[in-house]
Chains A and B, each alone.
Chain A
Amino acid sequence: GESVGLHLPTLSVQEGDNSIINCAYSNSASDYFIWYKQESGKGPQFIIDIRSNMDKRQGQRVTVLLNKTVKHLSLQIAATQPGDSAVYFCAENTSGQNFVFGPGTRLSVLP
């Protein structure tokens, strides 16, 4: 797919298990974060966001955790399904300026 990197980290999980995808961000002043999912041949799809005044936010089957102390963001997907197979990107934003994206993680769901 378009988002494949030669050295893209890959996470393989069994269908039905929980997935945890990690992201280290670069700017301690970043105040907003988004997780995107990109399937082959498609543009990134907005999954969930979180502001820096929160440390956890839950959506449908997904949870984002923010640890500002170590500049770390994680995306947890509950009961991972085959349709969750994709590349996942985190993006950080500082004061409404342009987004900076992480390198992405490929999630592979095993039957």
Chain B
Amino acid sequence: SQKIEQNSEALNIQEGKTATLTCNYTNYSPAYLQWYRQDPGRGPVFLLLIRENEKEKRKERLKVTFDTTLKQSLFHITASQPADSATYLCAETTDSWGKLQFGAGTQVVVTP
């Protein structure tokens, strides 16, 4: 069965630097991958979606790439700010109903 794997270690980064997070899937290539942000005690908030045939997607300071050869998606936060501190979740759609399977998430801590 498909597994979505994210680095469980927290990523500590200095303000202004670029944070890069990794999401690997183990089996088939999903039609698209999604990235969400989750703050403590809150529900996830959608950030970006990238399709299988797209190499890269951008939204403001965020960038996502999708490499089907490596079975990997990278999520970048450029010019990081302390307000970017949160847990970032990668997810793939598992069926036509749209239900998502999430990775464990990677916590990002941006220090001034």
Decide whether A and B assemble into one complex.
Answer: no
Where the two chains meet, the residues of A that have a C-beta atom closer than 8 Å to any C-beta of B are: none
